[in-house]
């Protein structure tokens, strides 16, 4: 049994530092690298790509709305054409930094409000997927269970990795509770066992006590979550005990 472990990276900007990239990179298999619209800058992008290469971590684009002040979390009204171009612009920029390090982009995971809007709106989902397909036909896209991106991606023949979260609560339909407070669980060992259950049983308990069915092909843990380093260490230990291997998304999905 194998699963991808991803983390949002490269979100620092100028003198402003976000997350704990250098430490988290030691434990993950895929890095979602900010592309300059919600976080990141050219220097940070290059440095993050090089850090991923050093640790053998697969890289992907993490494009968001042009919203540096709101960190890409504000919902913005934009046309499908604008969204497609936003995604192409940011992903193309990161692709060149990857090429400079003799790497290819494995995946894309939209950020923040753009991510959540795409999960529910088929027009936005299609705009993002069309933009990515024009950059690379084999790029994997990370998406929530039961989302519009999963369905449109299936229609377009684009590989989709269904994502669950180590440090967020889930809803009955497999989506996430959009909050920065994290899960109600505070014990890292218990949180790690919750992740193991998502991988092995395809189930997770919602905040109101219901059971949600999920497919866990890639697991996100945010580097700026309180205790992220301890949590990811506990996940590694729990996976080893449960016989779950951590591998990049392309290996999980068998995408060449």
Give tens-digit pLDDT for 16-47: 998 899 999 999 999 999 999 999 999 999 99
Place of tokens 């440090």: 167
Q: How many CA atoms lie within 13 A of 163 on its CB side?
A: 31
pLDDT at 126: 98
* Residue-range domain boundaries for the chain: 2-253
pTM summary value: 0.94
For the domain spanning 2-253, the CATH number is: 3.20.20.370
- pLDDT band of residue 225 (cuts 50, 70, 90) is confident
Backbone angles phi, psi at 110, to 5 degrees: -55, 155
Long-range contacts of 182-188 (CB under 8 A, 24+ apart): 182/225, 182/226, 188/227, 188/230, 188/231, 188/234
Length of the chain: 256
Strand duo 160-165 + 140-144: pairing: parallel
- CA-wise closest residue to 252 among 168, 142, 109, 155: 142
**96 three-class SS:** helix
Place of tokens 């991988």: 199
């Amino acid at each position: 049994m194998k699963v991808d472990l991803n983390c949002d990276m490269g979100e620092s900007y100028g003198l402003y530092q976000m997350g704990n990239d250098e430490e988290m990179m030691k434990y993950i298999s895929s890095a979602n690298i900010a592309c300059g619209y919600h976080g990141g800058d050219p220097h940070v992008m290059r440095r993050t790509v090089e850090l991923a290469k050093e640790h053998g971590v697969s890289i992907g684009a993490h494009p968001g709305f042009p919203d540096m002040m709101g960190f890409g979390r504000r919902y913005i009204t934009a046309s499908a054409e604008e969204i497609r171009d936003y995604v192409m612009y940011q992903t193309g920029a990161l692709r060149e930094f990857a090429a400079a390090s003799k790497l290819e982009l494995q995946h894309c995971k939209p950020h923040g409000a753009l991510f959540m809007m795409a999960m529910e709106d088929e027009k936005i989902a299609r705009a993002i997927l069309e933009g990515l397909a024009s950059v690379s036909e084999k790029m994997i896209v990370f998406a929530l269970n039961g989302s519009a991106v999963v369905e449109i991606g299936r229609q377009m023949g684009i590989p989709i990795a269904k994502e669950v979260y180590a440090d967020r609560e889930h809803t009955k339909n497999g989506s996430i509770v959009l909050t920065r407070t994290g899960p109600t669980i505070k014990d890292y060992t218990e949180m790690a066992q919750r992740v193991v259950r998502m991988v092995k049983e395809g189930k997770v308990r919602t905040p109101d006590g219901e059971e949600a069915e999920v497919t866990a092909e890639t697991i996100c843990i945010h580097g700026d979550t309180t205790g992220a380093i301890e949590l990811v260490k506990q996940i590694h230990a729990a996976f080893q005990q449960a016989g779950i291997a951590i591998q990049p998304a392309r290996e999980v999905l068998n995408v060449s």
